[in-house]
Chains A and B, each alone.
Chain A
Amino acid sequence: MKKVKLLLTVVVFLSLLPLAALAQTFSPIVSTADLAAGLTNPDLVIVDIRKVEEYKAGHIPGAVNVFYGTWAVKTGENDNQLPADDDLADIVGSAGIKPDSTVVVYGKTETPPDRVNVTRVAWTLKYAGVQKVSILDGGFEKWAAFEKRPVSTDTTMPKAVSYQGKFNKNIVASKDYVKASLGGKGKVLVVDVREPDFYNGIQKLPFVAKAGRIAGSVNLPTSLLFEKYPPSGENAGSCCTTYKDKETLKAIATPIDGKLLDRELIVYCDTGKFATAWWFVLAEVLGYKNVKNYDGSSQEWMRDPNAPTLP
């Protein structure tokens, strides 16, 4: 009888293994329900990028806090730049993240910058060589206020590691690289993710030297990625902002260059932050194989009198 029980236990255990393995990886844009179901994953590191004060007031259980500003720093005259590689390795390692960790980044979705802070951090983690990085759809608002999922006020102290990931330099473009790419007879497509008024040179942000766009770039505004949640019904829009579904995003991106997933794309915005939202969707969700973010973006490009611009 004991042997039968043991056999049954082994069979049940083995039958659950595929489910456990499944729970270890999330979609690039992970839903709150999927994250809740996978909270016990031992390789999971949830990164809360909100301010320390907000984290302390309540966060997803087990999440560590590494404020957004840590991941994107001012360098020289440019905002939102990658930290130096050794600094970044320290930041990633001190959050307890290893190259093969399963990382879910979350923040807020209240304002447009809030929405793209998470993708900027996700892109930075990919740059540092972390392989499995997801972002939480709907952010903390959907998890806590709307769905009333468990929230903790206990600070999670990360178990720091010496980070040894291989940096992925192929996902970032320098100004010189973008300049060189413009002469490539259409081999590289530069994508301006700012809103049409900025692309068309009607508006500009104060810290950008002049209005306009990189010559030859096409426009794919960041706002097209998002929708209010819930999208309809009595409580329409009362929760937060979420990403549109994959098919809709594919349909939006396809006119840009959807049929050539191998073509090199360079996305840019004003400081290299908003551009990461489309970078994340193109590279991680839709399967574009060669997408780079021009980190200096308009803030750097428009200061250079020799950089080709339009209009």
Chain B
Amino acid sequence: MYKGYLIDKTLLDGDPHLSRGCKSCHKGNAEGTTREEAHKGLVKRPSDNLKTCAMCHRKIADTYGKSLHYTTIGQRQGVMKRFSETELKAFDEKVFQQSCRSCHASCGDCHVRGAAVGGISIGLIKGHKFVKKDEGKTCAFCHGGRVYPEYTGEYGGKPDVHYQKGMLCMDCHKKSDMHGDGNIYFSKQDVKDRPACVNCHTKLGQEARLTTRTAHARHQGKVTCYGCHASAEYRNCYSCHLGTGAAAKPGFLLGLNPRDRKTLTTLRLIPTVRDSFEKAGVKMSNFDSLPNYWDTPAHNIRKRTDRTRSCDACHTAKNGFLTKEALVEQSSKADDGLIYNINPIPINP
């Protein structure tokens, strides 16, 4: 038997995953005495095939196979309206399967070895130990461009109050958000049981302070929680595939939610531009059917922000509001419908 273990031997007996031997997941040749012999037929990432984990975790593997983390179908749905039927077929073949789908997370990406993002991986999370969760190494790595550094304040300069209180991803995002619930969803918006502020903050409208109570009552249904409580600038990516490469810069944008066109919320620029997929030979005939800005649950919530401190921040100064002049170059025509011209607060004579 080949003795060149890369894992901590002390883990072997304590973990049922490991006590069954490398071969149970990684295949290869257990009788081989050299590295080359032992690695014949080796499967490097066994959990890419969900059947491997399903040998013991059938229920989870079944639901996970249908989850958005695995299918990554949300990425396709987010852009598909921009294509004609022929273009969509080409997109599916040349872009979605080859690029977007390569981003799907296997079981091992979250429980054993960090996923590779842009060819870089953190390697084994804890010496090949099967970890239940380690958000700072797993969630933070794939969602490390935008959400996670905004949550910790490393991007934007103000950490989310929930991080200040010691909360990590899975304190709001449940296990079923990761593993799926057995249903096939095309977008996270379709998942009914998603995290929501009001799941914990149940006493909205019953606050002790009159100003807080009034502000919540007046804005309920008109402005999202993020609209007032997002505290800092978040990352907006520009010009993806414009020929010059993508660039990111901090920004804070308020406008109408493109999904209902009536609720004011935080918007984030999505870097898709008119020629994003031209290198793959895929055009977007209906580019203008979708906006460049989408509602974003900015993960930098604070109790007090400029907007909660003063009505004037929005109603007079209009800080952060998306304007026609501020729209990204060659913007989609659909962006125009997101601009909200807020009125001053009427003063009764």
Contact = CB atoms under 8 A, between A and B. Distances in A.
Interface of A: 51-56, 65-67, 69-70, 73-74, 79, 84, 86-87, 90-91, 94, 155
Contact of B158 (A56, A65, A73, A94): A73
Given A52-B163, A87-B304, A90-B303, A79 B157 contact: yes
B322 interface: no
A70 B157 CA distance: 9
A65 B166 contact: yes
B136 A53 contact: yes
B105 interface: no
9 contacts: A51-B136, A52-B168, A56-B168, A66-B164, A67-B152, A67-B159, A69-B159, A87-B303, A94-B164
B304 A51 contact: no
Contacts of B167: 52
Contacts of A73: 153, 157-158
B166 to A, nearest CB: 5
Contact of A74 (B137, B152, B164, B232): B232
B164 A70 contact: yes
B135 to A, nearest CB: 7
Contacts of A86: 304
B154 interface: yes
User: Interface on chain B toward A: helix, strand, loop, or mixed SS?
Assistant: loop
Contacts of A87: 302-304
B304 A84 contact: yes
Given A69-B159, A74-B158, 6 more contacts: A53-B168, A67-B159, A69-B152, A70-B153, A74-B232, A91-B164
A155 B165 CA distance: 11
Point out which of A54, A69, A155 has the most chain B C-beta atoms below 10 A from its C-beta. A69
Nearest to A54: B136
B156 interface: yes
Interface string B107-139: 000000000000000000000000000111100
Contact of B163 (A67, A79, A84, A155): A67
Contacts of A69: 152-154, 157-159
Nearest to A95: B164
User: Interface on chain A toward B: helix, strand, loop, or mixed SS?
Assistant: helix
Interface of B: 134-137, 140, 152-154, 156-159, 163-168, 232, 302-304
A88 B156 CA distance: 18
A70 B165 CA distance: 10
Contacts of B154: 69
B310 to A, nearest CB: 12
Given A67-B152, A67-B159, A74-B158, A94 B165 contact: yes
B232 A52 contact: no
Contacts of A91: 164
A32 B154 CA distance: 29
Contact of B152 (A51, A56, A84, A90): A51
A87 B159 CA distance: 13
A108 to B, nearest CB: 15
A67 to B, nearest CB: 6
Nearest to A157: B166
Point out which of A51, A65, A79 has the most chain B C-beta atoms below 10 A from its C-beta. A51
Contacts of B303: 87, 90
A155 B137 CA distance: 19
Nearest to A52: B166
A91 B158 CA distance: 13
Contacts of A74: 156-158, 232
A51 B232 CA distance: 19
A125 to B, nearest CB: 15
A94 B304 CA distance: 15
Nearest to B153: A69
Given A52-B168, A86-B304, A70 B159 contact: yes
Contacts of A155: 166
Nearest to A78: B157
Nearest to B136: A53
Q: Name the 4 nearest CB pairs between A and B, nearest first.
A: A74-B157, A53-B136, A69-B153, A69-B159
A239 to B, nearest CB: 23
Contacts of B164: 66-67, 70, 91, 94
Nearest to B158: A73
A57 to B, nearest CB: 9
A246 B2 CA distance: 57
Contacts of B156: 74
Contacts of B232: 74
Nearest to B162: A52
Nearest to A65: B166
Contacts of B140: 53
